[in-house]
Amino acid sequence: MRDAGSPARSYAVAVLPGDGIGPEVIGEAEAALQAVAEQCGFGVTTQRFEAGAQRALDKGAPMDPDLPDELSRFDAILCGPFGDPRVHDTIVVWGTILALRQRFDQYVNLRPARVLPGTSPPLRDIGPGDLDIVVVRENTEGEYGGIGGRVHRDKPGEVAIETSVFTRAGIERIVRYAFEYARAHGRRRVTSATKSNALRHAMPFWDDVSLAVAAQYPDVEHELALIDALAARVVSDPGSLDVIVASNLFGDILTDITAAASGSLGTAPSANIDPTRANPSLFQAIHGSAPTIAGKGVANPVAELLSVALMLEFLGEAEAARGLERAVELAAADPAARTADLGGTATTSEAGAAVRERLGEALSAATA
């Protein structure tokens, strides 16, 4: 994918703009990616591909069956949100993001949540530094394995079965990733989400494997926490939480809570990672396609910009990642650069431009 005359460090990024507000926030993300690449001295080429609910409406399927093969040639995938009320979510989700996670064995879903400077989260007396939680979510099995079915549809005896699948290898590798992440980023504690008081088989199994892995990391604190109590702690005592490792379903729910508690889903990024790097990893804001505001130019691009920062960190461009994160923080501190969900009046393009304008200052601080 790279040209012979490209910079020594050069990356090919596939872009899936998605649905609704996707093209708007992706446009700002691509602009930020190109700007930080230019200032940090590495090359980036991007290529857009069609996928999502609109494609399902236009062509009968949310994704071309050959698209995963196309995407496999890239260093990373930058993705917008998928979804449209005219297409059932199961068709779009299983036809795009879940299919790609399983195809590329992106078994880590990394979702950090923190309060940005100048913003007003809904929790009382919470500001920057008081909520800084990273959820490491298992991403390819568990409750989202897709195993099951329905029989006797629309009859009184209709039955639906959804089977959760937990493997020792799957639990061990995600818990180990959480501990390795905590070590590498100076985090003090890993909390393992469970429900072993009610789920008699899968969750005690999860606990057993979690405890066995935790014993190999005596320098990092570890605890097991029931998912319902853990969700309450995000609201009542977020400062007690650092890194959370969770199953597919529990992690999905917790990350909406942590994002909302930090101020807005519009600021919450995510990374779908294959740590072996045998496959491309995918980076995407966790918010939905928000069709009611699509095309109005008011969507918050911050979550997608921070997803670009996660992508840069994974690609090995740590300076660029820190610089982009810092630029987002500097812009967020300015009321004129905030979109409506953060109490401001900036448009999507104004918010994106404000981040790019602060990149130089942010990169200088990142390397100081």
Active-site residue, 252 included? yes
107, 144, 177, 181: the catalytic one is 144
What length is written for the chain? 368
- pLDDT tens profile 249-299: 999 999 999 999 999 889 999 999 999 999 999 999 999 999 999 999 999
Active-site entry in 75, 84, 242, 252: 252
Percent of the chain with pLDDT over 90: 91
**Residue-level pLDDT at 128:** 87
Query: What single letter denotes the amino acid at residue 343?
Result: G
**pLDDT (mean) for 8-21:** 95
pLDDT at 7: 61
Exposure letters 46-58 (e unless 16+ CB within 10 A, then b): beebebbbbbbee
How far is 178 from 81, CA to CA, in rounded Å?
A: 25
The pLDDT score that the predictor gives to residue 186 is: 96
For residue 368, the model assigns a pLDDT of 67
Ordered alpha helix ranges (H), the chain? 22-40, 53-59, 67-71, 89-95, 97-103, 168-184, 202-214, 227-236, 248-262, 302-315, 318-332, 348-357, 359-367
Separation between Cα atoms, residue 85 and residue 104, nearest integer Å: 28
Structural domains of the chain sorted by starting position, each given as residue range(s) with its CATH number in brackets = 1-107+272-368 (3.40.718.10), 121-262 (3.40.718.10)
Choose, from 195, 242, 274, 341, the residue flagged as catalytic.
195
Is pLDDT above 60 for 103? yes
Is residue 228 part of the annotated active site? The answer reads yes
pTM of the model: 0.93
When pLDDT is cut at 50, 70 and 90, the band that residue 75 belongs to is: very high
Range name among 7-11, 25-29, 253-257, 290-294 with the lowest pLDDT average: 7-11
Concatenate the DSSP letters of all residues of 203-251 into one string.
HHHHHHHHHHHHTT-TTSEEEEEEHHHHHHHHHH-GGG-SEEEE-HHHH
Backbone angles phi, psi at 51, to 5 degrees: -165, 155
Q: Is 155 a catalytic residue?
A: no
Catalytic residue flag (residue 69) = no
Catalytic residue status for 341 = no
Which of 89, 208, 228, 296 is catalytic? The answer is 228
For the cut 80, the answer to whether the pLDDT of residue 2 exceeds it is no
Give the pLDDT confidence score for residue 3 in this predicted structure: 45
